[in-house]
Chain A
Amino acid sequence: MGLVDQQRNAQAVCLRSEPPQQALAQLGDRRGWLVYREMVRTRLRDEVELGLRRSCRVAGQQAVTQTLDRYLEQVPPRTRLFREVACHFGRTVAPWWKADASLPAYLPDLCLYEVAVWEVADLDDRNHPEVVELAFDRPPVLSPALRLLALGHVVHTQPAADGGYTAEPCFLAVHRPADDRMVQPWRLNRLSYDLLCLWQAGGVSVTQAVQRVGQAHGLPVDATFVDGLCTVLADFIEKGIILGSLGAR
């Protein structure tokens, strides 16, 4: 048996929900390889439970075990960066949890929110293009330490007495200001969320985005709208969510 087949056998013993007996027999050292299986799975589970602490608590031990079994067997992590494992797991399993009627309806949203917080804590806030003072005819530059979420539950607040979260549309900017360790969630209205999404995708000036979003929402871009927009922009600049406009390239 060649090296790659030996490695595939070892990997299958670590990742399949039941260790394949044929692979174990071919590897030859049953006890030893079951030790590796345990080590690999425990390390990955500990990391997932650390990154998605609240979601795993809500899901419960049994659901986490079942979900992790399926995850490791079907879509195991491919990233070299250990910190990305919890995010990959969370994004992968949120739709699975959504389809599972036995779990709380807010769990997938809570999971995606925790993924965003975990991820934003580590994003490199210096990794952005050159910035000049904000101008309406240029694309704004957003903080790289920012994730935008459109959720169906208000999961960034404390849970209600029964442990659940209010079901209503909830738009969030999950952001870490420069040089600050603390990730903060900001609740947005639909308009602000749409504007930030357009700007985050890049290539769209303040004016272009305002026209597009105004049109999409059937709102006239009049003096009241522009007044409201200026307040929102000033707020985003103060929070460090908008860094300025894209400088000359």
Chain B
Amino acid sequence: MQTVRGVGIGLRRALAEALFTSDAPEVRWVEIHPENYVSRGGYFRTMLERAAERWPIVTHGLTLGVGAVEPPEAGYTRPLRALLHELQVPWHSEHLCFSGTDGVMLHDLLPLPFDEQAIDTACARIRELRDSLELPVAIENISFYAHLGTPRMSELQFLLEVLERSDAKLLLDVNNVYVNAKNHGFDPRKYISSIPRERVVQIHVAGHFTRPDGLVIDTHGDAVRQEVYDLLEHTLRHAGEVPVLLERDQNIPSWEQLHAELRRLDEIYQRATGVSWA
């Protein structure tokens, strides 16, 4: 199993060449979406092999949202398991959300109702996934723009209940906490301080965008904001030495700009955790 420390970046086709050819010692691992590599040849396979030669890899799924009413089909989890074991990932993460029902796949991350039935469903999916992948499973807190029905508890209570009852790990997306705090009116630092630090295995940071009507959207297509860097520092002081990933999926800037963000994240990581690479 690979050891993952420090700052990583999401492997994307649009930035892969720059990543491979640049000298960026701040990048200590990469994250992939396994759906983009399962049973795939061509450029994506080559890209993955090049990345795996150089860095530890962590996998972050996009379609096994643990709020799905139906368990996932073995036709997908079997090749997924094979890929994860081939890459020797330390854990696999999915989102605390659903992405469709009755066999339809919307290819988006939709929020769950914050209630008992959704908690039970998520816990069942997490246990099944852990069993079929034979790996620790982490879930990510999503950004959400609507409630599905009347909430019976806060998003934080919902997340903590699922973590506790399923014994899952947490991929804590700091930008999502920030976005949700803005849209739904809570204190993001209090939210993060309430999370048991031993649950957190990985952190995400990304950029967001504020619409003219004030709604904040998690885009993965903008630079990381100062408020999110500050919240990351708070998170690392609370959670300790947890690897941090920069997510950038759209509107990919120059490598110099991305590299500057990675350097900044690495500085925060070292300062907040007391780790020194030197």
Contact surface of A with B, Cβ cutoff 8 Å? 1-4, 6-8, 10-11, 14-15, 26-29, 31-33, 35-36, 39-40, 43-44, 47, 76-83, 85, 121-127, 144-145, 176, 179, 181
Q: Are A43 and B42 in contact (CB under 8 A)?
A: no
CB-CB < 8 A to B35: which residues of A? 80-82
CB-CB < 8 A to B45: which residues of A? 124
A39 and B150 alpha carbons, distance in the complex (Å): 22
Q: Are B40 and A3 in contact (CB under 8 A)?
A: no
CB-CB < 8 A to B148: which residues of A? 6-7, 10, 27
Q: In the complex, how many residues of chain B place their beta carbon closer than 8 angstroms to a beta carbon of chain A?
A: 40
CB-CB < 8 A to A85: which residues of B? 107
- The number of A-B residue pairs with CB atoms under 8 Å apart is 114
Q: Are A7 and B101 in contact (CB under 8 A)?
A: yes
Q: Are A122 and B104 in contact (CB under 8 A)?
A: no
What are 13 A-B residue pairs whose CB atoms fall within 8 Å in the complex? A3-B117, A8-B101, A11-B106, A28-B149, A33-B146, A35-B215, A35-B217, A44-B107, A76-B105, A81-B35, A85-B107, A124-B41, A127-B41
Whole-angstrom distance from the CB of B83 to the nearest CB of chain A?
A: 12
Q: Are B40 and A122 in contact (CB under 8 A)?
A: yes
CB-CB < 8 A to B117: which residues of A? 2-3
Q: Check if B6 is an interface residue, CB within 8 A of chain A.
A: no
Q: Which of B95-109 contact A (CB under 8 A)?
A: 98, 100-108
Whole-angstrom distance from the CB of B75 to the nearest CB of chain A?
A: 9
Q: Are A123 and B41 in contact (CB under 8 A)?
A: yes
Q: Decide yes or no: A80 and B63 within 8 Å by CB, A35-B215, A40-B107 being known contacts.
A: yes
Q: Are A82 and B107 in contact (CB under 8 A)?
A: yes
Q: Check if B39 is an interface residue, CB within 8 A of chain A.
A: yes
Residue of B nearest to A30 (CB): B146
Q: Are B41 and A181 in contact (CB under 8 A)?
A: no
A82 and B34 alpha carbons, distance in the complex (Å): 11
Q: Are A145 and B42 in contact (CB under 8 A)?
A: yes
Q: Check if B255 is an interface residue, CB within 8 A of chain A.
A: no
Residue of B nearest to A46 (CB): B250
Fill in one digit per residue for B84-118: 1 if any A CB lies within 8 Å of its CB, else 0: 00000000000000101111111110101100011
For the complex of A and B, the 10 pairs showing the least CB-CB separation, nearest first, are: A32-B146, A124-B41, A29-B146, A7-B101, A80-B63, A32-B145, A4-B69, A35-B145, A181-B43, A125-B41
Other A-B pairs, 20, CB within 8 Å; known A28-B147, A76-B104: A3-B67, A3-B113, A4-B69, A6-B148, A7-B110, A8-B101, A11-B106, A15-B104, A15-B106, A78-B104, A80-B76, A81-B38, A82-B107, A83-B36, A121-B43, A122-B42, A124-B45, A179-B46, A181-B42, A181-B43
Q: Are B215 and A1 in contact (CB under 8 A)?
A: no
Q: Decide yes or no: A1 and B149 within 8 Å by CB, A7-B101, A10-B110, A77-B107 being known contacts.
A: yes
Partner of A29 from the list B36, B44, B101, B147 (CB cut-off 8 Å) is: B147
Most buried by A among B46, B146, B215: B146
Q: Are B103 and A78 in contact (CB under 8 A)?
A: yes
Q: Are B100 and A79 in contact (CB under 8 A)?
A: no
Q: Decide yes or no: A28 and B150 within 8 Å by CB, A11-B101, A78-B105 being known contacts.
A: yes
Q: Decide yes or no: A35 and B146 within 8 Å by CB, A3-B118, A81-B38, A122-B42 being known contacts.
A: yes
A70 and B149 alpha carbons, distance in the complex (Å): 28
Residue of A nearest to B144 (CB): A32
CB-CB < 8 A to A11: which residues of B? 100-102, 104, 106
A82 and B46 alpha carbons, distance in the complex (Å): 19
CB-CB < 8 A to A179: which residues of B? 46
CB-CB < 8 A to B118: which residues of A? 3
CB-CB < 8 A to B102: which residues of A? 8, 11
Q: Check if B121 is an interface residue, CB within 8 A of chain A.
A: yes
CB-CB < 8 A to B106: which residues of A? 11, 14-15, 40, 76
Whole-angstrom distance from the CB of B42 to the nearest CB of chain A?
A: 5
CB-CB < 8 A to B69: which residues of A? 3-4, 7
Whole-angstrom distance from the CB of A128 to the nearest CB of chain B?
A: 11
Partner of B44 from the list A40, A122, A144 (CB cut-off 8 Å) is: A122
Residue of B nearest to A145 (CB): B41
Residue of A nearest to B147 (CB): A29
A166 and B149 alpha carbons, distance in the complex (Å): 55
Whole-angstrom distance from the CB of B202 to the nearest CB of chain A?
A: 22
Partner of A80 from the list B42, B67, B105 (CB cut-off 8 Å) is: B105
CB-CB < 8 A to B98: which residues of A? 7
Whole-angstrom distance from the CB of B192 to the nearest CB of chain A?
A: 24
Most buried by B among A10, A15, A28, A144: A10
